[in-house]
Amino acid sequence: MAKTSMKMREVKRAKTVAKYAEKRAELKTKSVDMSLSYEERMEAMDKLARLPRNASPVRQQRRCKLTGRPHGVYKKFGLSRNMLRLYAMQGDVPGLRKASW
């Protein structure tokens, strides 16, 4: 199990990303728009750099929904490899079976 503080930090990051998403998208499009002058593009880049670091979606970490484990998490299920195996063996994951050949 991950520490509760780490799980809450990820929740806080997700809220920050959602809060600044529109502003970031607008500034990013301005910064690469070649029809604008050089100064306007640089100003957009500066404003983008002044936004909080956690406003960037790249800083979010995918975590297991049950345990909060940060590594070995499958996107499709939202579970870590350990929990996925456990629930697959119990038959709780629809459409997933253990391979045998």
User: Which fold does the domain 64-100 belong to in CATH?
Assistant: 30s Ribosomal Protein S14; Chain N (4.10.830)
The reported pLDDT for the residue numbered 96 is: 87
Strand partners, 74: 79
Q: Under CATH, which architecture does the 1-61 domain have?
A: Orthogonal Bundle (1.10)
Fold match, 1-61 / 64-100: no
| 11-28: pLDDT as tens digits | 999 999 999 999 999 999
Closest CA to 49 of 11, 9, 20: 20
| 36-94: pLDDT as tens digits | 999 999 999 999 999 999 999 999 999 999 999 999 999 999 999 999 999 999 999 88
Domain ranges of the chain: 1-61, 64-100
Judge contact between 27 and 47, C-beta under 8 A.
yes
